[in-house]
Structure 1
Amino acid sequence: MKAYVFPGQGSQFKGMGADLYQSSSQAQHLFEQANKILDFELTRIMFEGTDEELKQTNVTQPAIFLHSVVLATVTPNFDPAMVAGHSLGEFSALVAAGGLSFEDGLKLVAQRADAMQKACEIQPSTMAAILGLPDEVIEEVCASIKDEIIVPANYNCPGQVVISGTMEGIRIACEKLKEAGAKRALPLPVGGAFHSPLMEPAREELAKAIEQTRLQPPRCPIYQNVTACPSTDIDSIKTNLIAQLTAPVRWTQSVERMVADGATSFVECGPGKVLQGLVRKIASEVETAGL
């Protein structure tokens, strides 16, 4: 059984999507449509922009979504048995699986990016990657820090968890986690504490948009970040998409569940190879590839 997985923020690169634009009239149409929907030249930044321009949340998220969905659309015989996406990638996965239209998906991703950017500006916050500790140790250390907001945000693979919180919370947690034996506790160059309670203003804003958007059951199960479980139920999918902004990305658990449910190969659909690397660390027995 073939599982398709869709990357999140951080997989962008200069020139992303330019080859797709050149090679397919169908891709060209979707790229141009995206520019009109967003009312700015996203393709110019994707094809010709600097790393700095591509790092802006309101550019990064639509760019990765667009690249991923176009790739799925122009791939012959795209027929996943199951799909999943890392954070933002969940929206790409849902569109690729037919649960959400391209236009509505892009609009939601743009609204999500704007809402997250606004939430970041309310309180300075950040994230850090913790390497070489069991999940439960990281959870215990985060829970022990009482005066700051600090939580596990991304369970990426065994031995790699990203934490999220206030600037001071991250500083204290990194010190404590190094004392607990972490190989590395590395602050990340991100604009805010994604997948933490500090994203509550963004969650509220996105909830309104998602509730007003029409979804239909996807043609295969989507394994969602919040539950790491498969779903084709529209109400559950909406609830989990909304909860995702303040809840952790359970990527390790999602891949493990997909393998348990019969996935024998994982294909990364989008820019970069980050998810292929994570899948190999979670389930070394499965095949991985990129489109």
Structure 2
Amino acid sequence: MKVAFLFPGQGSQKVGMLREWLEEDAPLVEELFGQASRICGVDLLRLSLEGPEEELNLTKNSQPAILTFSALLLRKIPLVPDVVAGHSLGEYSALFCAGSFDFDEAVYLVRRRGEIMQEASPLGEGTMVAVLGLSLSEVQEIVDVLRGEGKVEIANINSSDQVVLSLEKSLLPRVLEEVSRRGKKAMELRVSAPFHSSFMEKAREAFARVLEGVTIRPPRYPYLSNVTAAFERDPGRIRDLLVEQLVAPVRWKDIMDVLCGEGVRKALEVGPGMVLSKLFEREHPEVSVFPTFSPRRLQIAVSEVREVQ
């Protein structure tokens, strides 16, 4: 039986997410977040503890904050994975876990990635919406209906009944209306730009130049790409796929299918929140995913997973 480490992406952050860990191990929290803050030029510890929420949610801040939170948890988890995968930003956390980047490189990359992505779509012009309860084909119908009214694209295929759209902010009421007409719900995500879509086309070339300056090492654990939902090992191909990930949909449902097919039956969600745990629970109930966002949750997760390692 294999064990996976899963790493969440943007939207999992929230003000106060570090409070229990600061009480549990202040020196480690201050070490990692201090290091990340120096690289980013912003006090990520203060933002994560006190906010304001609007500032934490800026992609240039939320990306390094979430990755650093995941790095903190990895220092606390006395286990090694059989396979790693991350959702969107979480792909960088997964590659850090697998040794493809060191911590400083990973923080620098996601900070620059956030800045470049934000520049590609000015704040307030675009957004992302999670559509709940509709299949991919049903969501595609909504995209087709609205195509003549503005730009809206499929950005994340999270599960059989959760698809995320990237869209012009002005289209938000229409998307909500079309989903409601079909008897389902949709909710706007806590992100500051419409990712994984052609909205990010301007970011592609700029981020490719950033990645050229960073050495990517072959991952020491099997790692699944968001773009291909396949295991990737070659550093050059990984570099190309990380650039492509800016404009390509995240194939998380396919990644869950692959993990299940590979024999994964237990996993840790290494980051804030439990979004990935809930997605797996609905899509593949035979796989137990344990959140680790608090000291108590991590203790339970480690106890459960140690039984099979």
Does residue 204 (structure 1) correspond to residue 226 (structure 2)? The answer is no
In the alignment, the residues of structure 2 paired with residue 171 and residue 18 of structure 1 have an alpha-carbon distance, to the nearest angstrom, of 36
Q: Is the 8 A contact 2:10 2:191 kept in 1?
A: no
Cα deviation 1:81-138 (Å, max 9, x = unaligned): 1111111111111101111111110001000111121122188122222122211222
Distance in 2 (CA, whole Å) between partners of 1:189 and 1:11 is 8
TM-align CA RMSD: 2.1
Q: Could you tell me whether the CA contact under 8 Å between 2:11 and 2:189 is conserved in 1?
A: no
Q: CA deviation at 1:72?
A: 0.8
Q: Please tell me the residue identity of whatever aligns with 2:113.
A: R
Conserved 8 A contact 1:149-1:197:
no
In structure 2, the CA distance between the partners of 1:134 and 1:96, relative to structure 1 (3 Å rule), is: same
CA shift in 2, pair 1:165/1:76, >3 Å: same
Q: 2:35 is matched with which residue: 33, 36, 43?
A: 33
- Higher alpha-carbon deviation: 33-42 or 106-115: 33-42
Counterpart amino acid of residue 83 in structure 1: V
Report what 1:184 is aligned to: 185
The secondary structure found in structure 1 opposite 2:81 is: coil
Name the CA distance, whole Å, in 2 between partners of 1:201 and 1:166.
Answer: 16
Structure 1: gaps of 5 or more residues: none
Q: CA deviation at 1:73?
A: 2.5
Output aligned runs, 1:40-79, within 5 Å: 40-77=42-79, 79=80
Q: Distance in 2 between matches of 1:85 and 1:182?
A: 31
| Alignment-derived partner of residue 108 in structure 1 | 109
Task: Determine the C-alpha separation between the residues in 1 that align with 2:82 and 2:124.
Answer: 41
Aligned-partner SS, 1:264: strand
Corresponding residue of 1:249: 250
Which residue number corresponds to residue 7 of structure 1?
A: 8
Q: Which amino acid aligns with 1:91?
A: Y
- CA distance, structure 2, for counterparts of residue 166 and residue 31 of structure 1: 34
Matched position secondary structure for 1:230: coil
Q: TM-score, normalised by structure 1?
A: 0.91
State the alpha-carbon separation in 2 of the partners of residues 166 and 252 from structure 1: 25
Shift of 1:169: 4.5
Q: Is the 8 A contact 2:36 2:107 kept in 1?
A: yes
Aligned residues: 289
Which residue type is aligned with residue 112 of structure 1?
R
Change in CA separation of 1:205 and 1:178 when aligned onto 2, cut-off 3 Å: same
Q: TM-score, normalised by structure 2?
A: 0.86
**Are 1:217 and 1:234, in contact at CA under 8 Å, matched by a contact in 2?**
yes
Range 250-259 or range 185-194, more displaced: 185-194
AA matched with 2:12: S
Query: Which region of structure 1 is more displaced relative to structure 2, 66-75 or 1-10?
Result: 66-75
Partner of 1:94: 95
Query: Is contact 1:130–1:182 with CA below 8 Å preserved after alignment?
Result: no
| Preserved contact between residue 73 and residue 96 of structure 1 (Cα < 8 Å) | no
Unaligned runs of at least 5 residues, structure 2: 293-309
Give the Cα separation in 2 of the matches to 1:97 and 1:125.
33
Q: What is the aligned-residue identity percentage?
A: 37
